[in-house]
Structure 1
Amino acid sequence: MSKSLKIFAPATVANLSCGFDVLGCCLDTVGDEMVISLSSTPGVKITKIVGATLPFETHKNVAGVATEALLKEYGKNIGIEIEIYKKIKAGSGIGSSAASSAGAVWAVNHLLDSPFTPNQLIPFAMEGEKLASGNAHADNVAPALLGGFTLVRSYSPLDVIKLHTPKDLFMTVIHPQIEVKTSDSRSVIKNKVSLQKAIHQWGNVGGLVAGLYTEDYQLIGRSLEDVIIEPLRSILIPEFDTVKTTALKNGALGCGISGSGPSIFALSRGNQNAIVIAEHIKKIYDTTGIDFDIHVSKINNNGVKILNN
């Protein structure tokens, strides 16, 4: 077995408008870096954190909790040391906690000669998400571990499916430097929806999955519509409506809230379209006085990957 591993733990976009808690996709140009090592001292230890103020206590750190869940199932008392180099800001809506959780379990599994399949790693990473938000959702950790687009068909029992990813899909993401915690954004969601809206949303989920497999970009665009969550959460994000209108006007297939926000995603066909949309969105936020980051990325079809030291 290898003794140490340096990895890239990717950012992700969850929900994809129509698929609250069940759909997500993996980004390629933004993510954390982690170094995971086997140790002669039993137990999980967080040894270094750079780029964010996060707890070193294992039971308070999502990477630590996820790793402990894996080792409990593995059944052997071994030692793991974790270094975290955060490049995804907490509360950004592009899977900061998921990157740490998924990256940790993927790397530990690799160091142990892969006793678990990628799908079997998902429940371990979900324990990290539960610590972060109070809800063990899989729509970020699944694409981080499997790559591409993923669908959580069921949570009980857990059934996650990797979907087809057309090569021409690119994502533009703007992250306003305001924090919208997942727990806070969930508090604005209603517990009940009308049958009419549910039917509308189900149709969009099916349409998006069909569009991905048939590489029908217009169908993908028509399906990126959220009639349930977005109307409630969008009010928490400055200039959301303006960004969405501008992105669609300039060729985006669809535009919506990334995860729980405040990041906004726009899905495009082709890298050049994604860059043009980024330029237009930048102009909007330049007038707000709010600091922001913009990312343009192809869809990462592989998920977590090993980095050369």
Structure 2
Amino acid sequence: MTVASSYRFDPPPPRPRKKRTVVRRDREGGAERLHRDYFSVEPVYGPQFFRRRFRMSRELFLRIVNALEVDPYFQQRPDAIGRLSFSPIQKCTAAVRQLAYGTAADCCDKYLRIGETTALECLKKFCKAVVRIFGGTYLRRPTTADVQRITAMHEARHGFPGMLGSLDCMHWGWKNCPVAWHDAYTRGDQGEPTIILEAVASQDLWIWHAFFGVAGSNNDINVLHQSTLFNYVLAGHEAAVHFLANNSHHTRGYYLTDGIYPDWPVFVKSFQFPNDEKKRRFKVMQEAARKDVERAFGGV
């Protein structure tokens, strides 16, 4: 017998199983508390608190809840023992709280009585259902009818015929950016990781174009060359816009921008140094109309 064969290797003893902690959540009490605080006839927290905590009005939130109730997941049904599941308002509130505050899913447990796993599932189902139900109405490019409505609205509101919207970029702070990506998404003048968003907004705050720039030291010009804003124009699918300006007939709409954008025919910029009354008035009107996209950024 060799030395090696004289050793005996016994398998390690099995690790003791952890006891599974059963939390008896009062889901009915959570639903009653949520209704009393925000959705009753005389709620504890009024519309001002609701908008701040849900990032939207109560009417808009209830509209989303009612639309999502066609999804079986958001329907309240009894389980195997006859106990009702979480209400649609509870599930949508759990998803909106995570989106609005960027908090962990476990934070929904204390107030809504929804566990971490269920809260994450609510978030995923909520996002997919919103895109599926509202995507065809809001997450799209304007149709020919929309273009006519937008240009007519801008001409009546701002006095700019043929205006499709205001174009601008904003830096969106990325609080939970992975440490390994900090350098790629941090620009010197920002001091923190950000994602740059390019958007076109109309006067009614409809953001019909949104594009997030990739990693790197991005500015408005870099993102413009990467974005898909003019893909429809290059593909020949642009909606025709007919208007008269300075006794000339034009067939292409335009966007109001600031001075950093290139001198393209589709961009209308204000005068940097107006030297007469007409140019000064145009500068004031152009910059006032460009507040549309800034108002839209303030609401996201």
TM range (shorter): 0.3 to 0.5
In the superposition, the TM-score normalised over structure 2's length comes to 0.33
- Structure with higher strand content: 1
Give the TM-score of the pair, scaled to structure 1. 0.32
Larger radius of gyration: 2
Name the structure, 1 or 2, with higher relative contact order (CA <8 Å, separation 6+).
1
